[in-house]
Amino acid sequence: MFRRLVSVFTTKCWVNTKYLQIRHIEVSIVGAGNRIGSNLALLLTQNPKITKLNIYDDDDRVRGIGLELAYMSQGPKVVSYAGDNFLPAAVRYANLIVMVARTPRRSGMSRDQMLAANAPAVQKLCKVISEQNCDAFLAISTNPINSIVPFASALMLQYSTYNPFKICGITHIDTARCRSFAGNALNVSPRRLQIPVICGHSEETIVPLFSNLAPSTFSLDSCKSDTLTRLLRKAGTEVINHKYGEESAVLCMAWSIGEFVERMVEALSGYESVVTCFSANPHFGTRFFAGPTMVGPRGIIHVCGNLPMSEYETSLLNRSIPVLNKEVCSGENYINIMNEAGGLKRT
């Protein structure tokens, strides 16, 4: 038995080492000219496993950001691409494509307005990925994630390139905020804590599971968990309010996407890793669902299911699922709206 375990272990290590030796991880950031994208690009230059970083934006100024990053005398080779004509080259050989292009949420903006504002850029990207590099992993942080990821998936299906294991929405921001709130409440470093956050990414669908707080030496009573849940659901809007309603979160978004990318790069290099993301998941009565997700060299390995929950968390989840279902349907149906407007031609 022991020998078998050793042999399984050695095989796994060999496989991992092999991947590590042969893989060069190329990452593309789409929307690198905006504040999230440029901060993310800076963070990713610190990741030694990324050998090439492509930064793309519609806006020519991304070339300036590219020059700045290239002057730093360490890190990956950075190449900048500006304008629609260069989008194919920007994503063609990437293992991981991170979509951060977006119209930022302003106060009073509805989810439908955000979907309408951001869908064309997502559509343009999905079309190019389908034609140039449908094996890449596509991670989207463009809001509203609950609708945009189903929209992008429906598009890929229309282009016959949909792979549910290679597309997700990045919801690491919710675990990052959750860990920081719990760390403050418990007076411990958030780095030491793990808390699953599930369901979706909007005020009515974020469901943190404080009852699963790890390590189990720490715990929060139900009153505290309830307060922190409310804080977490409002956290994005609070940032907007403090910025006079003009801009949503930037720095913590870049940081949390950076954490997601770090784990994805680990996975694409041959190691299993756990990310928090919103992906196809049939276990909760919806087609898409967010939560801790195991990823490996070929994308998603396991989506979350069956997590223990307190009574409060169960009732919160039961109230959130119908809202999430509605937002998923808006995204999937949005391709009909774009089809009617003639926006989905494949030429």
Can you give the binding site for ligand LMR, defined by CB under 6 A?
105, 143, 173, 236, 239, 248-249, 253
- Contact call for residues 126 and 120 (beta carbons, < 8 A): no
Number of residue whose CB is nearest ligand LMR: 236
E strand segments, the chain: 25-30, 50-57, 77-82, 96-99, 137-140, 167-170, 197-199, 206-208, 273-280, 288-296, 299-302
Tokens for 310? 């307190």
- The number of beta carbons lying within 10 Å of the beta carbon of residue 67 is 11
DSSP state of 76: S
Indicate the residue among 196 and 236 with the shorter CB distance to ligand LMR: 236
User: What is the smallest separation between the CB atom of 105 and ligand LMR, expressed in angstroms?
Assistant: 3
- The number of beta carbons lying within 10 Å of the beta carbon of residue 157 is 13
Indicate the residue among 94 and 119 with the shorter CB distance to ligand LMR: 119
User: What is the smallest separation between the CB atom of 253 and ligand LMR, expressed in angstroms?
Assistant: 6
Indicate the residue among 257 and 268 with the shorter CB distance to ligand LMR: 257
Indicate the residue among 96 and 253 with the shorter CB distance to ligand LMR: 253
By three-state DSSP, how is residue 288 classified?
A: strand
User: What is the smallest separation between the CB atom of 67 and ligand LMR, expressed in angstroms?
Assistant: 28
User: What is the smallest separation between the CB atom of 214 and ligand LMR, expressed in angstroms?
Assistant: 23
- Can you spell out the DSSP letters for 128-151? HHHHH-TTSEEEE--S-HHHHHHH
Indicate the residue among 79 and 145 with the shorter CB distance to ligand LMR: 145
DSSP state of 313: H
Longest CA–CA span in the chain (Å) reads 63
User: What is the smallest separation between the CB atom of 257 and ligand LMR, expressed in angstroms?
Assistant: 10
Indicate the residue among 153 and 171 with the shorter CB distance to ligand LMR: 171
**H or E element at residue 6:** helix 2-22
- The number of beta carbons lying within 10 Å of the beta carbon of residue 48 is 10
Under the phi-then-psi rule, with left for phi > 0, alpha for psi from -120 to 50, and beta for the rest, what region is 67?
alpha
- Contact call for residues 37 and 31 (beta carbons, < 8 A): yes
User: What is the smallest separation between the CB atom of 177 and ligand LMR, expressed in angstroms?
Assistant: 8
User: What is the smallest separation between the CB atom of 244 and ligand LMR, expressed in angstroms?
Assistant: 15
Indicate the residue among 233 and 263 with the shorter CB distance to ligand LMR: 233
